[in-house]
Amino acid sequence: MKNTGESPYDFLEFLGPDEICEVDDSDPTWLECGGNRYLMALKRGPHGCYFLDKKTRFCAIYEHRPMLCRLYPFKLQETRDGKFKGFTLHADVGCPRHRDGVVATKPLFTLYRQDCGNQRDYDDLVRVFNRREYPGKQPSDFIGMFIEVK
């Protein structure tokens, strides 16, 4: 967010269980609002990710992309209790940055380890958000929990 120059309200969206696959119902990152559940995600349009440059077809925030994008074309595999299991290749590999199919996995594991602390902080924010009850609560209210007001 700090490095994109854009408001997270513009590039984030909240998806329900019917719009997401491969996320377990017990995943601690589900946001709860009005009896419904949502996950926060980067917006995608008909031409791909919000940050995909339409002319070059490359990521416009490549140096600042989220962990899932840094891991691509691999996806993280964890045990049911959230411990690292390994990496597998996405079925739809087509990332324009990795056309040769060669990606070193040791730096990816290092990135994963660094992100574990961030994930715990995120899970804590989700728990606090889910405990809050007030009229008109929306999933986008979650964004306000991690924006620094200037």
Two tokens, residue 76: 């993280």
Position 120 scores a pLDDT of 86
Q: Is residue 128's pLDDT more than 90?
A: yes
- Strands of 36-42's sheet in order across: 12-15, 36-42, 31-33
pLDDT tens-digit series, residues 35-75: 999 999 999 888 888 999 889 988 899 988 887 788 777 77
pLDDT band at residue 131 using 50, 70 and 90 as cut-offs: very high
Position 1 scores a pLDDT of 75
Two tokens, residue 34: 């009005």
User: Residue 34 region, left (φ>0) first, then alpha (ψ -120 to 50), else beta?
Assistant: left
Partners of residue 44 on adjacent β-strands: 49
pTM of the model: 0.76
Residues with Cβ < 8 Å from 29, sequence gap 6 or more?
39, 40, 122, 123, 126
Q: Is residue 3's pLDDT more than 60?
A: yes
Give 127: exposed, middle or buried? Use CB within 10 Å, 0-12, 13-18, 19+: exposed
**More confident site: 102 or 47:** 47
Q: Is residue 94's pLDDT more than 70?
A: no
Position 138 scores a pLDDT of 95
Rounded-to-integer distance, Cα 22 and Cα 17, Å? 10
Position 65 scores a pLDDT of 86
Half-sphere exposure of 143 (CA within 13 A, CB side): 15
